[in-house]
């Protein structure tokens, strides 16, 4: 048996599979995000441990015999979070999360330093880990002075599981401290952020063994004390493992809380100026590139909270058939934006509202705005030489066939909907556990899911959506002039 743990922004999911990758059981536990100030986003790592205990208790209650033959655990987690430990291994402050924008000034300073982009392969975004520590050095010097280790959220769970500070390449590439081409910590990047290699976890590939489960946890959960803990992966790399996006040309688009357009790469070829992320994959000698928008389904959830209607109720008002785009425009910059703008200060807006604008018009504008923002990411990926001819569509937003057809039309890409079953980050983490435990070739494990159907671009409306996208591209410079 093999267990994948996916540490998400709102909860932890555990997925138990057998050696043939059949799902045996799953369990979930939730926790909250704290926003103590505007632009701040934090979590207490103790909540992650409580969720881990709850998930394992649930799995044990109904799957005692399966856990008794557990050979490996892999952990996936939301990226970029700064979990700071003192010399005694205790957490010094709440973890600063990926969507926290307080360190935008520090990010800009680090980004302008010589060799930063060349070594990291990326712009230094405010959500990355390095600027968060630079912010702490200035604003929380008493905490900063106590830091012994800085762990990413997933690596903190690995620390709890093994007692050792271990990180993997895919997650660490999002810190702005990793030499992403060489797949090792960069002394140059670390020193620029007042850090040292001794403050970092040791590195392994995500598909390699990071350690073994602590004996006390093995006894508590009824798991063999030989259970292997894999290096694991950042959530997007783990999702790529889960859907089999492993070689050049493989990719997916995710309509989750944030939006992601990801393409696997056989070689390292960053172009930081495009604001496309270039990160290590979770397996050796592979990388991936992706465009990221910060509010995908989060935009629809925001409208849901404003209107008092559930997301499903809002989208049902649009019917099942794709229509021409609404003249109402929505810029989904509710938390700033990454690709292609790298702008933590920009904020969202509706334009084209009139007395005749209906709730359904606003819903359609939100769906369109997310699609157009992902088109921005596609155009940025194209500028790096990436050529996507199709993509898997994953994430909660894919429950709306209308939204997926709209996205396929805007991107001019056929979008493949996986058949019902497990795929994504939790399965990817379990696959990493299987690979680390058995020494199998990762490519033989990270296979693609069965496809239920393929949604083609709507040729009747493509020209209208292309024209609407061109109008959308004018929103950002207009809004930027007002901020």
Catalytic residue among 235, 250, 343, 376: 235
Q: Please say if 235 is a catalytic residue.
A: yes
Which H helix or E strand runs over 311?
helix 311-316
Q: Cα dist. 146→131, 288, 301, 443 in Å?
A: 18, 35, 39, 42
In three state form, how does the secondary structure of 42-110 look?
EECHHHHHHHHHHHHHHHHHHCHHHHCCCCEEEEEECCCCEEEECCCCCECCCEECCCCCCCHHHHHHH
Closest CA to 45 of 27, 32, 59, 36: 32
With a CB cutoff of 8 Å and minimum separation 6, the contacts of 417 are 392, 393, 398, 404, 451, 452, 453, 454, 455
Query: Which parts of 187-339 are beta strand (E)?
Result: 202-204, 209-212, 228-230, 233-234, 251-255, 259-265, 277-280, 287-293, 329-331
Provide the token pair at 396.
């909660």
**CA torsion angle 379 418 324 480 (round to 10):** -40
Are 139 and 145 within 8 A, CB to CB? no
Cβ-contact 78, 236 below 8 angstroms: no
Which 3 state secondary structure label does DSSP give 263? strand
Picking from 466, 238, 284, the residue whose alpha carbon sits closest to that of residue 368 is 466
Structure tokens at 142: 């008493």
Spatial neighbors of 144 by CB under 8 A, at least 6 apart, are: 133, 136, 137, 194
Strands 233-234 and 72-77, sheet pairing: parallel
Return the active site residues.
Answer: 235
């Amino acid at each position: 048996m093999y267990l994948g743990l996916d540490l998400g922004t709102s909860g932890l999911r555990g997925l138990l599979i057998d050696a043939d990758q059949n799902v045996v059981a799953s369990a979930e536990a939730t926790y909250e995000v704290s926003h103590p100030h505007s632009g701040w986003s934090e979590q207490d790592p103790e909540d992650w441990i409580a969720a881990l205990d709850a998930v394992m208790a649930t799995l044990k209650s109904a799957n005692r015999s399966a856990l008794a033959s557990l050979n490996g655990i892999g952990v996936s987690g939301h990226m970029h979070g700064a979990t700071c430990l003192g010399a005694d291994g205790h957490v010094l402050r709440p973890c600063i999360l990926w969507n926290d924008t307080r360190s935008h000034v520090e990010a800009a300073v680090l980004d302008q330093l010589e060799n930063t982009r060349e070594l990291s392969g990326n712009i230094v975004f405010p959500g990355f880990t390095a600027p968060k520590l630079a912010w702490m050095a200035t604003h929380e010097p008493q905490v900063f002075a106590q830091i012994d280790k800085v762990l990413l959220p997933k690596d903190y769970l690995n620390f709890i599981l093994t007692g050792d500070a271990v990180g993997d390449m895919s997650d660490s590439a999002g810190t702005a401290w990793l030499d992403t081409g060489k797949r090792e910590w960069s002394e140059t990047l670390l020193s620029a952020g007042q850090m040292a290699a001794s403050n970092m976890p040791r590195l392994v590939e995500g598909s390699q063994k990071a350690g073994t489960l602590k004996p006390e946890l093995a006894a508590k959960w009824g798991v063999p004390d030989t259970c292997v803990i894999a290096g694991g992966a950042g959530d997007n790399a783990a999702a790529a493992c889960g859907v089999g996006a492993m070689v050049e040309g493989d990719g997916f688009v995710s309509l989750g809380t944030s939006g992601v357009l990801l393409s696997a790469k056989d070689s390292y070829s960053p172009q930081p100026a495009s604001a496309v992320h270039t990160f290590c994959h979770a397996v050796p000698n592979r990388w991936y590139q992706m465009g990221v928008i910060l509010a995908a389904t989060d935009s629809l959830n925001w409208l849901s909270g404003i209107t008092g209607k559930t997301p499903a109720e809002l989208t049902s008002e649009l019917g099942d058939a794709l229509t021409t785009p609404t003249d109402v425009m929505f810029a989904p910059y509710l938390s700033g934006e990454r690709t292609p703008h790298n702008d933590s200060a920009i904020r969202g807006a509706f334009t084209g509202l009139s007395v005749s604008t209906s709730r359904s018009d606003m819903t359609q504008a939100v769906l369109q705005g997310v699609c157009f923002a992902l088109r921005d990411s596609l155009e940025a990926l194209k500028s790096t030489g990436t050529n996507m001819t199709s993509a898997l569509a994953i994430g909660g937003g894919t429950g709306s066939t209308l939204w997926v057809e709209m996205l396929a039309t805007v991107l001019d890409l056929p979008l493949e909907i996986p058949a019902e079953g497990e795929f994504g980050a939790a399965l990817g983490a379990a696959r990493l556990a299987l690979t680390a435990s058995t020494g199998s070739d990762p490519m033989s494990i990270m296979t693609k899911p069965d496809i239920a159907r393929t949604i083609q671009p709507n040729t009747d409306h493509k020209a209208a959506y292309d024209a609407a996208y061109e109008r959308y591209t004018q929103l950002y410079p207009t809004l930027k002039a007002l901020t």
